[in-house]
Amino acid sequence: MGQYLPIAVLLVLAIVFGLLSYAAAKLLAPRRPSVAKSAPYECGIVPRREPPERFPVGFYIVAMLFIMFDIEIIFLYPYAVERGALGVYGFWAILFFSVIFFLTFVYEVARGGLDWGPIGRQRDLSDEAAMVSPERTAASTVRRVGTEGRVPVAAGGDR
């Protein structure tokens, strides 16, 4: 039990320091509220109006997926370093862990959590069949901008 004494002392000191800092801030801080201080502030841009809609939940889902895969990678490093000592049990544990994370990703993709923007519709290309023909070439369809009125220069000649 004596080996845990330094950790317990540091834990108590951290809690006491946190409580004392909080109490000192509440007692000693000046209280002069104003509209400017209570207004939201982001990147130096003062908002002129409230946003028209709430922030999309899809952003938070992508952020959570990012954190999940970061956690998975963080757990893979110790396995990669000590894979010889962990043996077959470590391999199956990491494989099981990775499969669970992969299945959550597949589930999120299947639910449409990563679909951004309006729903894509398939285009009907039957009306545009004339656009795909052997008669069309780059010379007949691409308009060179800025060449009107210029005298063509012979290949290899000086200007």
pLDDT tens by residue, 62-104? 888 888 888 888 888 888 888 889 889 989 998 998 898 888 8
Residue 77 belongs to a domain = yes
Please identify every stretch of the chain with a pLDDT value under 70, giving residue numbers as ranges. 40-48, 50-56, 116-134, 136, 138, 140-150, 152-159
Which tokens sit at 7?
Answer: 């950790």
- pLDDT of 120 reads 52
Cα–Cα distance measured from residue 151 to residue 147, given in angstroms and rounded to the nearest whole number: 9
Domain count, the chain: 1
Residue 1 belongs to a domain = no
Q: Which domain holds residue 59?
A: 53-115
Residue 99 belongs to a domain = yes
Give 98's contacts (C-beta < 8 A, 6+ positions apart). Answer: 72, 76
Residue 84 belongs to a domain = yes
Residue 88 belongs to a domain = yes
